[in-house]
């Protein structure tokens, strides 16, 4: 599975998300690293397209408003969160899935799972995109 609806606090669903994207970071680690300049959460960006997860893109296509996306660091990768209408969807990804961030007109986070490429296309102001890229590179280390 590529994405999960995490609107309702179902512990079994969160176990599935964390099984794919890596365990949640301990709260004390998140606080310490935030003070060191690497927050657990990323800056928010506007999600403009999702390639490789057709079900999520189909939900987004009917919308007239922007949908935002932000990322959460985990022990083995990232989890992207986006809201479509009143539902929140999580897209977990691991560093081992060739997770990269590029700038090709839009800011794009790429990964590949089970041979299927996925790309999250995002836009923001130049400063927000620069902050995200810096956050992404520091999270990679």
Token pair 């189909």: residue = 58
Give the residue from 66, 55, 52 showing the smallest Cα distance to 120: 52
Average pLDDT over residues 17-21: 95
Q: Encoding tokens for residue 71?
A: 């990322």
Report how many domains make up the chain: 1
Q: pLDDT by residue (tens digit) across 26-84?
A: 999 889 988 988 899 999 999 999 999 999 998 888 777 778 999 999 999 999 999 99
Can you give the pLDDT at residue 3?
A: 95
The CATH number covering residue 87 comes to 2.30.29
| pLDDT at residue 100, rounded to an integer | 95
Q: Percentages helix, strand, coil for the chain, rounded to the nearest 5?
A: 35, 40, 30
Taking residues 123-130, report their average pLDDT. 93
Structure tokens at 66: 């922007």
Contact 1, 53 (CB under 8 A): no
**Residue 15: domain span:** 4-140
Sign of CA dihedral 60, 100, 98, 21: negative
């Amino acid at each position: 599975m590529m994405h999960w609806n995490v609107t309702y606090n179902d512990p079994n669903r969160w176990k599935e998300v964390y099984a794919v994207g890596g365990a949640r970071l301990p709260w004390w680690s998140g606080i310490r690293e935030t003070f060191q300049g690497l927050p657990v959460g990323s800056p928010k960006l506007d999600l403009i397209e999702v390639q490789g997860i057709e079900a999520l893109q189909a939900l987004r296509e009917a919308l007239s408003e922007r949908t935002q996306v932000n990322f959460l660091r985990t022990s083995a990768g990232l989890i992207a969160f986006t809201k479509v209408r009143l539902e929140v969807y999580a897209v977990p990804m691991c560093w081992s899935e060739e997770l990269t961030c590029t700038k090709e007109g839009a800011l794009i986070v790429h990964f590949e799972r089970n041979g299927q490429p996925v790309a999250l296309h995002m836009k923001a102001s130049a400063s927000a995109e620069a902050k995200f890229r810096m956050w992404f590179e520091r999270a990679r280390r």
